[in-house]
Structure 1
């Protein structure tokens, strides 16, 4: 659709005319309230984005792994339970990378060409060395925050320890035969970047346009947990999503939650015994949980106690 054919809205502050693609007035920067952009419509768009990303992963996974599977049909090992994944773990990871990259391209296209939904708060502001150091520290703490959530969930009966171990074995069976660098590239780097663009960059701001930012913060965290599509990951991913959203609010740049997310995923991959063995880890490791509130507090102090993004928007 051409620029002259798009719907136009008048800014209530300066009365300038803006096209539908803008979130803020091009003249005064005031938020634009789109009459037909209801909360129901936003929720539908959010679910559509999530379904698109998951569907992209599924389609590419099928297209890439089926040829590998048929190539190994003559192998007896293929029909022996989880051993089937040994033949195409690389293909599975490749499909995840491709789907994430395609999704990132789509997001970048809409951001830079269509200016759709998330302009201007969708930020990649420069970071200080201090912020980077705090982000690395917070990412380490998030690994053990996730572990604590699993311990509490197992204690109160939400999840079963045996199911947790089975889940860990399933994951390692699916990707364990791949080289470490490919696993880290896929789950430790590419996937976190795509997920941050989706949830902190898109979902968070889409809901924030229609509700209090604190409510939007919780909703995007819960959706981030649901996106992982299993109870084990969903529990701690929801809390992690809220922590990542808070760090975004405190810094005004997506680079911070991206770094935290990458560090969290990478350490979890490099220390699989923390996840798959006895969840009652040592007091010393559990003490690293303090890095999470400490990191959030330091980011808060670094910003002089004020949020970068408007809490009342």
Structure 2
């Protein structure tokens, strides 16, 4: 029982550490921005200080920087906690070498995932299923890309976010679960925590299945580099779709969709076959 409690506490605390740091980073940057705005008002003698429009603008402007700051804080605190309790940190991440071909295939799989996800979500939305959940999802996701600097999107959403989430979920949490529960349960549990961390039902639903694929890529390769490549590819393609998706006509959409599905199937089969080949070589 003690072992279960220890594992449960470790996995949930790492998950909610990230959420807490996102909140803390947002509050800190909002506070600093308000102080800066106040100092500007005092210097210029303006009496119009922090209207509702100002607050909304500040909240929008600090959104992506707060993600980056939260990632730095989460990684730093997690590392420090492992040092204090004399637990291995880098070793648990399993950042081992992976072939260039495998990492490239993983990245292509990630890029290919976005279009089928968007298409399936659009079908469900058009069918009128849970419209309030889709409205909430749009309310959360739109500020991440609407009128945001594309470079900042790529850094925060396309690179920093995936790196941190893979360190947390496929690195620290999955490592701990694999040591203590059967593999299938470890895969499902880390995917569930990954889904919960997104704090909305729509994104959490597809994040659960993506979490399973990311864990499988880690199991097959024994390296965190592959799930990182998949995750980065998926997020970067999401940014590109949000920026340029309106320029894609229906014919091109279906062509890209079919091609994406084929790439996902072929890429996944390739990664699995490579893992089987490695196991056979080790057996010899």
| TM category, shorter | 0.7 to 0.9
Q: Distance in 2 between matches of 1:211 and 1:274?
A: 44
Q: Higher helix fraction: Structure 1 or Structure 2?
A: 2
CA positional deviation for 1:237: 0.8
Unaligned runs of 5+ in 1: 1-35, 309-313
Which of 48, 59, 62 pairs up with 1:74? 48
Give RMSD over aligned pairs: 3.3
Residues 214, 163 of structure 1: CA spacing in aligned structure 2 closer, same or farther, 3 A cutoff? closer
* Aligned residue number for residue 132 of structure 1: 103
Using the TM superposition, give the Cα deviation of residue 115 of structure 1 relative to its aligned residue in structure 2, in angstroms.
5.8
2:162 and 2:18 mapped to 1: Cα distance?
13
What do the CA deviations read for 1:55-111 (whole angstroms, capped 9, x no partner)?
1110110111134357389379x536xx85433433221121011012223344566
Return the alpha-carbon distance in structure 1 between the equivalents of residues 255 and 85 of structure 2: 49
**Counterpart check, 1:54 vs 2:19:** yes
Give how far 1:113 is off: 8.0
Within a 5 Å distance, the mapping from 1:89-104 to structure 2 comes to 89-104=60-75
Change (3 A) 1:252 1:306: same
* Post-superposition offset of 1:218: 1.3
- 1:249-303: per-residue Cα shift (whole Å, max 9, x none)? 110100111111011111101211688999x993222211232232111011122
User: Take 1:113 and 1:276, find their aligned partners in 2: how far apart are those partners?
Assistant: 50
Q: Which runs of 5+ in 2 are unaligned?
A: 39-46
Match of 2:43 in 1: none
Q: Contact 1:117 / 1:202 at 8 angstroms: preserved in 2? A: no
Q: 1:151 to 1:247 in 2, by over 3 A?
A: same
Q: Give the secondary structure class of the aligned counterpart of 1:253.
A: coil
- The aligned residue for residue 270 of structure 2 is 298
Looking at structure 2, the residues matched to 286 and 307 of structure 1 have their Cα atoms a distance apart, in angstroms, of: 33
What is the TM-score with the length of structure 1 in the denominator? Answer: 0.73
Aligned residues: 268
